[in-house]
Amino acid sequence: MDDSTILVLANPVTPELALLAALPDTTAIAVGMTPEAFERTASRADVILNWDGDAQLLEQVWRMAPRVRWMHSLSAGLDGMLFRDLVESPVPVTNARGVFSDALGEFAVGAVLFFAKDFRRLIRSQMAGAWGPFNVVQVRGQSLGLVGYGDVGRAVASRACALGMNVLALRRRPELSREDRYVAQVFGTDQKHEMLGLADYVVVVAPLTPETRGMIGEREFEVMKPTAVLINIGRGPVVDEVALIRALEQKRIRGAALDVFDVEPLPAGHPIYRLDNVLLSPHAADHTANWKERTLRVFLENFERFRRGEPLINVVNKKLGY
């Protein structure tokens, strides 16, 4: 295919848009954040690139572009973006799966060590000018349970194994990880409580779907160890935030490291800000200096495949949502 028209849902002043200059000269590109920006080009568009458009804009543009044959998301998560008409259409959707995995794996391990070595206590003592030795936890031999085991889960598992931790994985299809060298034991979703009861650290990496929304809630906190730490680097609503706050306030679990929340940015005065057993990240655990460039290069590689009629990479199962 020589000629293509791409609708890019992005702020036109985004610096990384300059990388689209690598596309063939015969490619027409329209950029904007309103339906009006695409009025002249949507009818002949082949591709939609969703940079940072919301679900409403994406669906509006989709309805304006009846010839679209491929849609790509520059993020890995697709919650809220897979509206019914898109799911039921033959149009493939691809995403940035894999781009963020290493950074998120590093954050998860950092969170484990933050609590095991009680870095908050060390900082408080330093600021107070106090010399107060105490015992720390050795993570070697402890168990890390993963809720979800896709690309990010495996990145966490490889790093936890390097620390000598015992990795447990909970996934919808446990047979896919029976032979995984990083996983000591894999559990099906009907064994969720069994796995949670064994884990010293619970790392949530599951995508947000109707089935996973609120899957870590009041009952799950009841079966976790009182010394356990929850680490959420997946999607905020996978964890029942009200139940989590209650468990943290009542010290039913040791703590939590959170990169994602129900509402973002986290509103001023939110109770999570004042909890001293929480490590809070403003959804920036995977924001390396070049993350936008790296995720755009996945699109550029896929565009070459699309242009040549080759199979696309990172194709999403639209019905499952990931």
pLDDT band of residue 76 (cuts 50, 70, 90) is confident
Decide: residue 112, CB within 10 A, 0-12 exposed, 13-18 middle, 19+ buried.
buried
pLDDT above 70 coverage of the chain, percent:
99
Q: Which residue has the tokens 């964890």?
A: 239
Cβ neighbours for 74, distance < 8 A, ≥ 6 positions apart: 49, 50, 51, 52, 95, 96, 292, 295, 296, 299
Read off the pLDDT of residues 35-75 as tens digits, 9 standing for 90 and up. Answer: 999 999 999 999 999 998 899 999 999 999 999 999 999 98
pLDDT at 77: 85
| DSSP per residue, 257-299 | EES--SSSSPPTT-GGGG-TTEEE--S-TT--TTHHHHHHHHH
Q: Is 235 a catalytic residue?
A: yes
Class for domain 101-280, per CATH? alpha beta
Instruction: Catalytic residue, from 235, 241, 254, 307: name it.
Output: 235
pLDDT band of residue 1 (cuts 50, 70, 90) is low
CB atoms within 10 A of CB 206: 27
Cβ neighbours for 191, distance < 8 A, ≥ 6 positions apart: 170
Q: Shortest CA distance to 48 belongs to which of 25, 26, 72?
A: 72
d(CA 167, CA 187): 11
Helix axis angle for 101-116 and 119-128, nearest 10°, is 60
Decide: residue 108, CB within 10 A, 0-12 exposed, 13-18 middle, 19+ buried.
buried
Work out the average pLDDT over 225-254: 98
d(CA 304, CA 44): 19
Read off the pLDDT of residues 144-160 as tens digits, 9 standing for 90 and up. Answer: 999 999 999 999 999 99
Mean pLDDT of the chain: 96
d(CA 51, CA 292): 10
Read off the pLDDT of residues 259-291 as tens digits, 9 standing for 90 and up. Answer: 999 999 999 999 999 999 999 999 999 999 999
Decide: residue 311, CB within 10 A, 0-12 exposed, 13-18 middle, 19+ buried.
exposed
Instruction: Catalytic residue, from 69, 172, 193, 283: name it.
Output: 283
pLDDT at 178: 84
Span(s) in the chain for CATH 3.40.50.720? 4-98+289-308, 101-280
pLDDT band of residue 121 (cuts 50, 70, 90) is very high
d(CA 113, CA 77): 27
Residue 23 pLDDT more than 90? yes
Work out the average pLDDT over 192-208: 97
Instruction: Catalytic residue, from 39, 211, 264, 304: name it.
Output: 264
d(CA 129, CA 150): 44
Residue 2 pLDDT more than 80? no
Work out the average pLDDT over 292-302: 94
Work out the average pLDDT over 172-185: 91
Q: Which of 66-70, 120-124, 176-180, 189-193 has the lowest mean pLDDT?
A: 176-180
pLDDT at 253: 98
pLDDT at 198: 98
Residue 176 pLDDT more than 90? no
pLDDT above 90 coverage of the chain, percent:
93
Q: Shortest CA distance to 121 belongs to which of 106, 108, 131, 107?
A: 131
Q: Is 213 a catalytic residue?
A: no
pLDDT at 177: 85
pLDDT at 268: 96
Superfamily of domain 4-98+289-308: NAD(P)-binding Rossmann-like Domain (3.40.50.720)
Written as one letter, the residue type at 141 is G
